[in-house]
Structure 1
Amino acid sequence: MAVKVTCNRCGCTATISSSSIESDEVKRLYCCCKNADCGHTFVMDLSFSHTLSPSALDIPDEVLTRLHTSTRCEQQKIFSRLAVP
């Protein structure tokens, strides 16, 4: 999925000419408005907000192994004991 950036001066679409990683959760986007009459160049920050569904990568290996060998009922019990941050 492509990120659509809008110029805050004229409302037209802008292209991202380059970017830099500021941290694990922030990326700086260097943008240029596609409207020739505007020509605004600007910087936007793209940042992580929050998690909607935890990553499966956050599940410990021993829990994954147990899940693969458990019945559906046992799996539900395992998940009810997990404390997801």
Structure 2
Amino acid sequence: MRVICIECGALGRINKTNRLSDNVAHLYCQCTDAECGYRWVSTLAYSRPLNPSRRSVGDAVLAVLGLSSEQRAILASTLNEQLAGEQKTDLNDKNKPIYQRR
């Protein structure tokens, strides 16, 4: 992770990390420019996930593997019904905005 000195714009160095919790830490930083020498504390915080953890998906797969064949069939039909319902609502919603990546 890079930190930038707000006084001169040079790269900073993280000298110490003080964890306040699992999701928040104070970073004690120092400018690498000897003429500047600015020191500061930044706060680093967890915001939100972008992708689900592969570990949690793997646990779900293992749980499904532990089901009986009858339970797996019921689960599959329920998921297929939900998926079919979502596809129908997507096709019927003409006011839904269309997003295009460029």
TM-score (norm 2): 0.58
Aligned residue for 2:50, secondary structure, equals coil
Q: How does 1:43-62 map to 2 (within 5 A)?
A: 43-59=41-57, 61=59
Query: How many equivalent pairs are there?
Result: 72
Runs of 4+ that moved beyond 4 A: none
Quote the RMSD (CA, aligned, Å).
Answer: 3.0
Q: Which has the higher helix share?
A: 2
**Aligned-partner Cα distance in 2 for 1:19–1:44:** 10
**Aligned-partner Cα distance in 2 for 1:59–1:14:** 38
**Aligned-partner Cα distance in 2 for 1:22–1:58:** 26
Q: 1:16 deviation in Å? A: 0.5
Instruction: Pick one of 7, 10, 13 that aligns with 1:9.
Output: 7
**Aligned-partner Cα distance in 2 for 1:60–1:17:** 37
Q: 1:60 deviation in Å? A: 8.0
Aligned residue for 2:55, secondary structure, equals helix
Q: 1:59 deviation in Å? A: 4.4
TM-score (norm 1): 0.68
Identify the structure with bigger relative contact order (alpha carbons < 8 Å, sequence gap 6+): 1
Unaligned segments of structure 1, at least 5 residues: none
Rg (Cα) greater in structure: 2
Q: How does 1:28-43 map to 2 (within 5 A)?
A: 28-43=26-41
**Aligned-partner Cα distance in 1 for 2:44–2:37:** 21
Q: Which has the higher strand share?
A: 1
Unaligned segments of structure 2, at least 5 residues: 66-71, 84-102
**Aligned-partner Cα distance in 1 for 2:8–2:29:** 14
